[in-house]
Amino acid sequence: MTSTTSEPAAAAALPSPFNFAGHLFALNRARAARIAYLDDRGALSYGALEDRSRRLAGALLAAGLRREERVLLLMLDTNDWPVAFLGCLYAGVQPVAVNTLLTAEDYAYMLAHSRAQAVLVSGGLLPVLQAAQSLGPNEVRHVWVSDPAGPLASGHMEWEAALAAAPALAAPASTTPDGPGFWLYSSGSTGRPKGTVHTHGNLWWTAELYGKQVLGLTEDDVCFSAAKLYFAYGLGNALSFPLSVGATVVLMAERPTPDAVFRRWRTHRPTVFFGAPTGYAGMLASPQLPARAEVALRMCSSAGEALPAEVAQRFEAHFGCEVIDGIGSTEMLHIFLSNRPGQVRYGSTGQPVPGYGIELRGEDGRPVADGEIGDLYIRGPSAALLYWDNREKTRDTFQGAWTKSGDKYVRDAEGYYTYAGRSDDMLKVSGIYVSPFEVEATLMQHPAVLEAAVIGQQDAEGLTKTKAFVVLKDGQAATPEELQAFVKERLAPFKYPRFVEFLRELPKTATGKIQRYRLREREAQA
């Protein structure tokens, strides 16, 4: 039966009280002069990170915020972001980290849903926040603006003035490992985003079990994450993991285009890079791709979607460093199933991270045998507490000790797990399940293909067949017949795409995940 468990003996290893920000500051006091963060404006030392975070904590409490009230973080990836997040944790208020690429309507919903009492916002994002506040009722009492573009409206305070408004908080709030610490909103690809409530202890567990035990990060590393801090993936990559070992982090406020990433690789010489499959494919297709000698990469990480083997193999061949593919989720905070340095099997998502149990279940709820596709369930110490104000979805996702991922996987006899698609993306063709990802990954092996997305489409007889939407590389050409023959040569005949359509780009979420449901909607309207 497909069930793997390697959980820690007891989550009680964490003391109570436990405040994650206080834990990090104590851990790094001997490194006060060492650089913690580098953004486009300059460096922030570990000593300055603690000082500014504690001053923000003092200012929040002096402004009247109380324990466990929410503070919306609508901030770009600059040195002020970790100060904001850690300052909130230190004060015992709950930062609600939100995606900076959303609409005013999205933020209006999040303000009302979280009942945020304050907002910490980057100056460039202030207009969309103001638009959001005008759309409906909210409880915001304070808006503090980092790097404002001009004079501020009444009721808004400049970030530096806010930090100077009160003395630094002397001691961290007496929070607990299992107490609510912060929120992250899910991507909301199938409805309203869900406010996912995490604990102070969850940050510690992911850093210990994945950042240290799997990735093996050290204080000598320079970490750079294309995934932003407001994502669960980016929060580990650029905050909890590196700060838990005293490493240095490169931050980038702008979008992670290939050229923007390459500039940081050359300038700051990161040793560990965290990206997503779409980003790796885009970088490899760029004419500006750096030579191996121009970078200092020793290891790369990938998550967000399953990494096609062909992309990973070409990246390693060019740069000489492995790409460690894994899967995590907002609900589990970071990666729970992963390849390991020196043991990478491209095309698979690896094996369970130490401390996590994995089970694949069939439609009857029982574990499936190796080689059979099943729904992925996870058990581990970093699971979220709940979805705020959403009992139905909480009960559906958090089932006792287990968390339902919504992904389908298959495990081989050696214990390696391979992605088989989202549960709502799986197709039944000729009575047999077909993984869209398997077909997509095969199409991407074709030298002309940059990206591909596969959905089900009914043929003239009303039977479900696979349809592929394909984005070609610049200057490349291919015909539908050529791509169909290419897949037929590599997969079972019933899996090849009966229909092929070329697009200039695929619809994606703000996290870069392909939105197959939008392609299905497009077909339904055709």
Q: Write out the DSSP string of 45-64.
A: EHHHHHHHHHHHHHHHHHTT
Quick one: which H or E segment has residue 379?
strand 374-379
Determine the pLDDT at residue 431: 54
Determine the pLDDT at residue 306: 80
Determine the pLDDT at residue 409: 94
Angle formed by the axes of helices 309-319 and 277-285, to 10°?
Answer: 50
Determine the pLDDT at residue 495: 84
Find all residues with CB under 8 Å of 241, minimum gap 6, and list them.
206, 207, 210, 211, 212, 215, 217, 223, 247
The two structure tokens encoding residue 135: 């759309």
Quick check: 458 and 493 in contact, CB under 8 A?
no
What residues of the chain score a pLDDT lower than 50? 9-12, 188-190
Q: H-type helices in 99-236, by residue range?
A: 104-114, 126-133, 159-163, 200-206, 232-235
Quick one: which H or E segment has residue 32?
none
Greatest extent of the chain over all pairs of C-alpha atoms, in Å: 73
Q: How far apart are CA 277 and CA 258, in angstroms?
A: 13
DSSP 247: -
CA 382, 383, 385, 386 torsion-angle sign: positive
pLDDT tens for 77-127 read 999 999 999 999 999 999 999 999 888 988 999 999 999 999 999 999 999
266-267-269-270 Cα dihedral, nearest 10 degrees: -100
Best CA proximity match to 67, nearest among 206, 174, 227, 191: 174
Q: How far apart are CA 298 and CA 271, in angstroms?
A: 5
Q: How far apart are CA 367 and CA 61, in angstroms?
A: 49
- Helix (DSSP H) and strand (DSSP E) numbers for the chain: 16, 28
Quick check: 118 and 72 in contact, CB under 8 A?
yes
DSSP 191: S
